[in-house]
Structure 1
Amino acid sequence: MLEVIDKGSVTDSHPVPLLFVHGAWHAAWCWDEHFLDFFADAGYRAVAPSLRGHGASTSPKPLRACSIDDFVSDVAEVADGMPTPPVIIGHSLGGLVVQKYLESHDAPAGVLLGSIPPRGSGGSAVRWLRRHPWHFAKLSLTGRSLPYVSTPKLARERFFSPDTPADVVDRYASRLQEASTRAGFECFAAARPDPARIGTPLLVLGAEHDGATSRGEVLATARAYGTQAEFLPGLGHDVMLEPGWLAAAERIDSWLTGRHL
């Protein structure tokens, strides 16, 4: 059973629903803090599932064994339950899940926020190894990554800008949860998406102070899909949780409105 947070309804101005896909260590709650209400109030139906094993979603197997294909199936299950195909919006690892989903499913549009690029997460892993070699070694041995992202200091480094208030970082760091070991390793190579199979129009957004996805990776993602990357000033990786989240939401809204979605 998947936890699904569903707000708002489609309107004449925005007849296409939105489906938000979270990344590793997060769940549907990260969209519910600000984005779902913003888009519902703007006349959209805004839906955010927690992928299996995350949030209140159950899983038939341990979270550590869940694959990217499993998460794609979760997205497909929610999307198939909607009257019309939704716009798919993915963050970080969720952006990779969205790309894999779009290889075999139609969608009117997609948005990638700080997404893992089509070439995989090797660059991110190398940066992690250089920054925290002992953390990376223990993660590789135990399969447990939560301890190395969930302290306020480490959460700020990876997910938030230097100017994000400490109470915001503390609050959200405490809500992070363990991620899938299998999915994490698949992001290196096994689950790389094929941009040639994806014809969906995409908005590719990065953040100025992203500690997880580099500027070069955001640019590479945009190039792979024949579009231009845009960068949100002053924000960290978790653009939907930052105090400046409104700039990200408004840019997505304006892009969708410009496409009559």
Structure 2
Amino acid sequence: MTGNPFATNRAVSRPQLEILERQPAVDSGKPPLLFVHGLGHGAWCWENWLDAAAAAGHPAYAVSLRGHGGSGGSLRGARLGQYVDDVIRAAATLPRRAVLVGHSLGGLVVQKALARYSAYAGVLVAPVPAHPAVASLLAVARRHPLDAARLTFGGSLPLRADYLFTTLDGEEAKRHTDRCGRESALAQYQLLLHRPAAPPRGGAPVLVLATPDDRLVPIRGVRSTATRYGATLREFPGMGHDLMLDVRWEEPLKSMVDWLSTAR
């Protein structure tokens, strides 16, 4: 079902946010999960993991950042710091301290949110690394030079199937890429210029899920980010950047659920 705890849009700085929600059949006290999407995606991209997490006993929520999916607000001028505000505001409405789960750009947003919000844990899924993502720009340039030029001059990165998936059926891949949208030019620039986030508030443990075959975020930067956080790192060879949508999406999801059972 779709929940919407934000019934007001009284200020541009606090736009109405879309929240997708799945609840377990029985509330056993497990921590809620708050999923944060990546560049050009929306809460919709977590549908597989929302259902599976709830089946495993976790209250599961996915937020669309401002200007994405069904959320209010504009992408024009949207900054990473505002995305972090969106995540913290969403987490504050949940019944217990949440596990923040961020993919790609959302993985960087979660890194920054962990420095301000005392989370139960953090999970970074194919995340933009803790350091400036110049290697990602170079990876794009090698595959599609015009896409890299477009990024450099303020255009939104076209989210092609070959960036996101490795084995997904062509029609299914197109269905997902057709749902992707634009990204804030300013937020994209910030990926290349940002400073590492402060350590997680309260010492929240961190899990990193990644693939060495990622065509957008080179694995070297992901591994260094895992080292920075003293995180558990799980790699899934043969999968694409969108671990939560590619054919074997159950594998990283199960790895996360198993890790959470022993994280505290």
Query: TM (normalized to structure 1)?
Result: 0.89
Equivalent AA in structure 2 for residue 7 of structure 1: R
In structure 1, the partner of 2:17 is 2
Q: Distance in 2 between matches of 1:125 and 1:53?
A: 23
Q: Distance in 2 between matches of 1:231 and 1:166?
A: 24
- Give the alignment partner of residue 106 of structure 1, picking from 113, 118, 121: 118
Q: Distance in 2 between matches of 1:224 and 1:9?
A: 34
**Structure 2: gaps (5+ residues):** 1-15
Q: Distance in 2 between matches of 1:196 and 1:36?
A: 24
SS in 2 for 1:209: coil
Q: Distance in 1 between matches of 2:237 and 2:40?
A: 24
Identical-pair percentage: 38
Higher relative contact order structure (alpha carbons within 8 Å, sequence separation ≥ 6): 1
Superposition RMSD in Å: 1.9
Q: Residue 218 of structure 1: CA displacement? A: 1.5
Aligned residues: 249
- Would the alpha carbon gap of residues 198 and 222 (structure 1) be closer, same or farther in structure 2, given more than 3 Å must change? farther
Q: Does structure 1 residue 174 correspond to structure 2 residue 178?
A: yes
Q: Residue 209 of structure 1: CA displacement? A: 2.3
Q: Deviations over 1:89-128 (max 9, x none)?
A: 0000000000000111101111101001111211101222
Q: Does structure 1 residue 144 correspond to structure 2 residue 155?
A: yes
- Give the alignment partner of residue 28 of structure 1, picking from 16, 38, 43: 43
Q: Distance in 1 between matches of 2:26 and 2:256?
A: 17
Q: Deviations over 1:213-254 (max 9, x none)?
A: 111111111111123422013211101111110101110110
Query: TM (normalized to structure 2)?
Result: 0.88
For the Cα contact (< 8 Å) 1:63–1:179, is it kept in 2? yes
For the Cα contact (< 8 Å) 1:10–1:17, is it kept in 2? no
In structure 1, the partner of 2:11 is none
For the Cα contact (< 8 Å) 1:121–1:188, is it kept in 2? yes
**Structure 1: gaps (5+ residues):** 150-154
- Give the alignment partner of residue 240 of structure 1, picking from 224, 240, 244: 244
Equivalent AA in structure 1 for residue 260 of structure 2: L
In structure 2, the partner of 1:249 is 253
